[in-house]
Each structure stands twice: as C-alpha cells, then as structure tokens.
Amino acid sequence: MKNQFRSIILLFLGVVLGVLPLFAAHIAMRDYVKTRGESFLDQTAQRTLMRAEDFVQDAVDVLSALPHYRVPVCDDALRESFRVMMMRHPAIHDVGLLYNGEYMYCSSMKGSTHFGAASEASLGGVPHLSFRAVQDNLTEKNGLLVEWTVARFVSIGAFIRVDSLGEQSMQTDLANSYRLSLKLDSGDVVTSSTPESRLQQRAPFYQFTPSEEWTRDLIEREVNSSRYPLVVSVAIPFHAVWESYGGVINVIDAFGIFTGVLIMFLFVRMALRKPDPYVSLEKAIRRKEFVPYYQPILDIQSGRLAGCEVLVRWRKPDGTVVSPGHFIDMAESTGLALPMTALLMEQVAKDLSESYADHPDLKVAINLFNRHFDDLAIVREAEQVFGNSGVRFSQLVFEVTERLPLENLDRARAIIVRMQELGIRVALDDAGTGHGGFAYLQKLGMDIIKIDKLFVDTITADSKHVPIIDSLSQMAKGMDMVVVAEGVETDEQLDYLRRSGIDEAQGFLFSPALPASAYLQLVDALGGMRRPKAIKDGLETSRTDLAS
C-alpha cells in the first residue's frame, strides 16, 4: 500500500519534472530569439542611421562652404561651384539655389528640379538649416533636402536621394523580413522599405503575398541620431526570427525532450524498482517483524507433546504473514540470517520461558544456518539468551540442515561439541536429502535425526516396507539417536512410522506452526496443572499426555 503510494508519487513527479525541461527550453528559446531579433534590428538601424548621418554631414559641409554673406546670383560661376561640390560628394544628387523651397532654379544639373515638398523641420540651434523629406518631381525619387536659408525665400539646397541613403542590413536570414523607415523627427518619412518593396526592387514581376502576421507579435526598435533630426525605426515579426532559428530551436527542443524523457525514465525506474531486499530485511529485523511460530512435535510412541520446532514468519506491519520460503535465501545470502536468528532466539526465550520452566521435558528446536558453524558466536549467543531464561539448555535443540554442505566439518564438529557441553542437543535436519549422509552423522555427532517430508510422503496406505525410512531409522538407533519424522499428514503415515519405531513426528496431521499464544495454550491444555516450582524441581517431570 505504502509502496503503491510512493510509486504513484514518483510517477507523478516524473511526469511533472519531465515536462519542465521542455517548457524551460522553449521559454529560454523565446527569450533568445527575441534578443537575437532585437540585436539584428539594432544593428540594421545603427548602420542605416550612421550612413544617413554621413551623407547629411556631407551636405552640410557642402553648404557651409558656399558664400552666405549675400544673396547669390545664379551665374555660370555659381553653377560651376555647385557642380564641383556635387562631383566631390557622390551621395549628393543635386546642389542648387531654391526659391521658396520648391524649385531648384540654379541647379548643378542641366535642368531644374522641382520638389514636392513634404514638410519642414528645423535643426535645433542652427535656424538657417532645415531638413525636408521631398520627392524629386523629375525622377520621382524620394530624398532628403538639406537647406541653408540665405535670404527670404532663397536658400541653397543639397538633395540626397534615398538610393544612397540605402538600407544597411546585415546579410542574415532576417534581411528579407524586416521593415525599416528613415524619418525626420517631425515624423515625416524620408524613406521606408518593407520585405515586399525590397523584393519588388530586385524582381519587379514577382507576385509577393504579404504576410498577415505583420501586425502582431512585432519586435520593434528605434534609433535617434544625436547630430541631426533623424530617426530610424525597424520592426520584424517575431515568427520570422523564430523561423530563422529553426535549426537551433530543433536542437534545443530535442535537448528538452531528451532531458524530459530521461527524467521521466529515471523516475519511472525509481517507481518500479523493488525496494532493496537487504534494506527491507534489515529494517524488518530492527522492527522485530520476524516472529517465531511453533510447530508442535509429538512423541508418537507415548502420544505426548514432545515440544516444538521454531519456524520463522515475517509478520508485516499491514498484518500479512510471510512464509520463510520468500525470504530465507535472501537472509542467508545477505548475511542477515545471523541477526535474524538472534532476534528469534530472544523472542523464543521471552515466549516460552514461563511455560517451559514448568515443563522441563518439552524441547524447542531452532533452525540454524550453515554460517552459524563458522565460529563460536552462536554458542555465546545461546548462553547469553537462554542462560538466565526459563528455557534450559537441555530443552534446546539446534537443527542443522543437510541440504547445504557445511564448509568445514572439523570446525562444525568443534562448535557442536561446545553446544553439547552446555546440554544443547543438535539435530540433522532434512536427513537423506543432501550431501552429508552417514558421514555427517558420524563426524558431527548428532543427537537427533529428522527424516525429511520427502520420504514420509512415500508412505501410502498399502506401504508394507519403505526401505529409506527403515534404514535411516535403524542407522539412527544404532547410533543412539532420536528419530523425528517431518511432514506427517495422514494416519497411514503415522501408523507406519510408529510401527517402524520412530520416536517423534511433526506435521499437519497434528498441527501447523502456531503463533506463540496458540502454542502456549496447547502446552497448557496438554500439560495439566502447573506445579509450584519448589516441588516441581524435586520431582521427576512427567510428560504431558497427548493421547486422545
């Protein structure tokens, strides 16, 4: 339940955090595109303005070099000087005397020019200098007329045609998409251009479909001249800049998608990952979630309760009880088997102390792992846990399985001897299934042999003779060992085992492994009245009668 919740949270986080880079990449990209558009416009406007300023400067230079102290007379000499001026400054298309600002009656050109004057703006601080956006009636070219007033109605003018004012955009993909206008600060437009007009100039017959998006999402810039009443304003649609960065955008988007997917993947992996078994086992040990269950063992010759075998169960906080098959191997391979056994022994001591003190003939068998036979730690632990408990060493049985080999038989033997010196008995579990066989029994000096369920299962209703059981039993008797049969499920099996002289048995026929309280009730029920300690210790303890 908790894990499911965690997975959902992680999946949710994965999706949210995975989408973020996409958005972030896109937002960053919009910002980037906008600044790139602005810097393109700034540069285009600056260049255009600088060029315009240079030409105006030329015109002012020309005009200031002419005699202003008197009203000029339009003679050949003046014409010649106009012509020389004009030649020296190729940007200036005409220099001449103007009458009433409209008619260049004394022009450097052969003919005379008539301007369609648009408006007038005076340059601050120089009252005799004015600037006008005009159109040359002859050529129909727009331009800038710079005038120096010399007398009432009379001025000297220099005409700069827009051709030379020309726009100075940088050669980028954006060069085709912007709008520009050069204006006087009065607002009069000297010249303007659009993508259409520029295209028209280069390819007059081309049908241009104007873009509809011109009015919205425009990036705009305006630059004012500090020297003359000139302003350049430029604009470009955002989408045009965006499109021109298509390649970069794809890369950034791809990066955003990649990062997003990566983050999602990591979170999904985290969400789906099973919790580390070591960590969860370790936590379960710390929280004492491993509890002993007790499977009763019966003396099948007398019918009395002989004791029990401790079988571990993992009781999870949500109440589920997990069988050892799901975690024993993991406990063994992670090395957590030892602390788990220690925990079980402590709980066994707690559960049984009181009851077992009253029933000294009842035994309790605890399963050990092969690793317990690597050193004497288990003997010290047993002394520590049971030394001062109601469970006597003589009631304790340690089971060693034959399924897995012991690493060092001599060392194991030494440890078993130490156990036996304390009074603890040692049983060979799963006898007949594994590696040891007779050699094990002999070398390790076992006290008890437990015949595996595998062999008990072979006993059927019409079994007359089950060789493996008979020979194990005979061999055990020869070595003065108690024989316990495991996994007894039917009356036929019980009958056969009893007839074969087997001492004890456990199995579902009698009882599965029980929680402590149930087992203790059973001991109480079968154990009769408790006797006061003082008397009891002096008495020969009698077995509880199980016979039905």
Whether the Cβ atoms of residue 157 and residue 146 lie closer than 8 Å to each other:
yes
Which CB atom, from 150 or from 364, has the smaller least distance to ligand C2E? 364
What are the residues whose beta carbons fall under 8 Å from the beta carbon of 461, sequence distance 6 or more? 490, 492
Looking only at the bridges linking them, the beta strands covering 92-99 and 103-107 are antiparallel
Residue 164: contacted member of Ca ion, ligand C2E, none (CB under 5 to 8 Å, by partner type): none
| Binders of ligand C2E in range 395-414 (CB under 6 A) | 401
**From the CA atom positions of the chain, what is the Rg in Å?**
54
Per-residue tokens: 338: 């030892």
Which CB atom, from 13 or from 509, has the smaller least distance to ligand C2E? 509
d(CA 147, CA 145): 6
Which CB atom, from 324 or from 360, has the smaller least distance to ligand C2E? 324
- Using CB under 6 A, count the residues that bind ligand C2E: 24
CB of 300 to Ca ion, least distance (A): 17
| Binders of ligand C2E in range 294-353 (CB under 6 A) | 295, 310-312, 323-325, 328, 344
| Binders of Ca ion in range 462-491 (CB under 5 A) | 486
DSSP letters of 305-371?
EEEEEEEEEEE-TTS-EE-GGGTHHHHHHHTTHHHHHHHHHHHHHHHHHHHHHH-TT-EEEEE--GG
| Binders of ligand C2E in range 484-503 (CB under 6 A) | 486-489
Which CB atom, from 236 or from 400, has the smaller least distance to ligand C2E? 400
Which CB atom, from 355 or from 367, has the smaller least distance to Ca ion? 367
d(CA 545, CA 538): 20
402 scored as a contact of Ca ion (CB under 5 A) = no
User: Looking at 368, 378, 379, 485, which residue binds ligand C2E (CB under 6 A)?
Assistant: 368
Q: Characterize 105-118 residue by residue with b for buried, 16 or more Cβ atoms within 10 angstroms of its Cβ, and e for exposed.
A: ebbbbeeebebeeb
Whether the Cβ atoms of residue 120 and residue 132 lie closer than 8 Å to each other:
yes
d(CA 55, CA 47): 13
| Binders of ligand C2E in range 414-443 (CB under 6 A) | 429-430
Residue 456: contacted member of ligand C2E, Ca ion, none (CB under 5 to 8 Å, by partner type): none
504 scored as a contact of Ca ion (CB under 5 A) = no
d(CA 508, CA 295): 9
Stretch that binds Ca ion, among 40-48, 86-94, 399-407, 458-466 (CB under 5 A): 399-407
CB of 430 to Ca ion, least distance (A): 4
Residue 344: contacted member of ligand C2E, Ca ion, none (CB under 5 to 8 Å, by partner type): ligand C2E
d(CA 99, CA 112): 11
Which CB atom, from 49 or from 441, has the smaller least distance to ligand C2E? 441
What are the residues whose beta carbons fall under 8 Å from the beta carbon of 116, sequence distance 6 or more? 134, 135, 137
CB of 310 to Ca ion, least distance (A): 9
Which CB atom, from 113 or from 506, has the smaller least distance to ligand C2E? 506
Looking only at the bridges linking them, the beta strands covering 448-451 and 482-485 are parallel
How many distinct helices (H) and strands (E) make up the chain? 17, 20
Which CB atom, from 160 or from 494, has the smaller least distance to ligand C2E? 494
User: Looking at 430, 447, 503, 504, which residue binds Ca ion (CB under 5 A)?
Assistant: 430
CB of 314 to ligand C2E, least distance (A): 10
Residue 194: contacted member of ligand C2E, Ca ion, none (CB under 5 to 8 Å, by partner type): none
The residues facing 298 across adjacent strands are 305, 505
DSSP letters of 12-26?
HHHHHHHHHHHHHHH
367 scored as a contact of Ca ion (CB under 5 A) = yes
Residue whose C-alpha is closest to residue 502's, from 308, 301, 298: 301
User: Looking at 94, 351, 429, 503, which residue binds Ca ion (CB under 5 A)?
Assistant: 429
CB of 10 to Ca ion, least distance (A): 41
Chain residues that interact with ligand C2E, rule: CB under 6 A: 295, 310-312, 323-325, 328, 344, 367-369, 401, 429-430, 453, 486-489, 506-508, 513
Chain residues that interact with Ca ion, rule: CB under 5 A: 367, 399, 429-430, 486
